[in-house]
Structure 1
Amino acid sequence: MHSRLLTGLALLICAAGLWWAYDSFQSRYLRPFENQPTLFDGSQLRLPAQLAGPGKVRVVHFWDPACPCNVGNQQHLSDLVSQFADKGVTFLVAQKTGSHGQLPANLSTLEPVVNLPGSEHLPASPAVAIWDQQGNLAYFGPYSEGAVCNASNSFIEPILKALLDGRPVNASNTLAVGCYCPWTD
Structure 2
Amino acid sequence: MSAKKLLSAFALLLCAAGLWCAYDTFQSRYLRPFDNQTALFSGAGLRLPAELAGPGPIRLVHFWDPACPCNVGNQQHLAELIEHYAAQGVSFHVVQKPGSRGQLPANLAALQPIASLPGAEHLPASPAVAIWDRDGKLAYFGPYSEGATCNASNSFIEPILQALTQGRAVDVTQTMAVGCYCPWSP
The TM-score normalised by the length of structure 1 is 0.87
Structure 2 letter corresponding to 1:170: D
The alignment status of 1:156 with 2:157, answered yes or no, reads: yes
Equivalent residue pairs, number: 178
Quick one: percent identity of the two aligned structures? 64
Q: Equivalents in 1 of 2:64, 2:19: separation in Å?
A: 38
Q: Name the SS for the 1:103 alignment partner.
A: coil
5 Å-filtered alignment, 1:9-88, equals 11=14, 18=22, 21-22=25-26, 24-25=28-29, 29-88=30-89
The alignment status of 1:90 with 2:94, answered yes or no, reads: no
5 Å-filtered alignment, 1:91-106, equals 91-106=92-107
Q: Cα RMSD over matched residues?
A: 2.1
User: Which has the larger Rg?
Assistant: 2
Structure 2 letter corresponding to 1:95: Q
Distance 1:13 1:172, change over 3 A: same
User: Once the 2 structures are TM-superposed, how far is the Cα of residue 149 of structure 1 from its aligned partner?
Assistant: 0.2
Structure 1 letter corresponding to 2:153: S
User: Once the 2 structures are TM-superposed, how far is the Cα of residue 166 of structure 1 from its aligned partner?
Assistant: 1.1
Q: How big is each residue's C-alpha offset from its partner over 1:6-57, in whole Å with a ceiling of 9 and x where there is no partner?
A: x79x9599689658735752xxx54322223210111111100110000000
Q: Equivalents in 2 of 1:45, 1:147: separation in Å?
A: 26
Q: Equivalents in 2 of 1:84, 1:22: separation in Å?
A: 38
Distance 1:146 1:82, change over 3 A: same
Structure 2 letter corresponding to 1:45: L
The TM-score normalised by the length of structure 2 is 0.86
Q: Equivalents in 2 of 1:172, 1:95: separation in Å?
A: 20
Q: Equivalents in 1 of 2:27, 2:57: separation in Å?
A: 48
Runs of 4+, deviation exceeding 2 Å: 10-24, 29-32
Q: Name the SS for the 2:74 alignment partner.
A: helix
Unaligned runs of 5+ in 1: none
Distance 1:23 1:165, change over 3 A: closer
Q: Which range moves more in the overlay, 111-120 or 12-21?
A: 12-21
Q: Name the SS for the 1:60 alignment partner.
A: strand
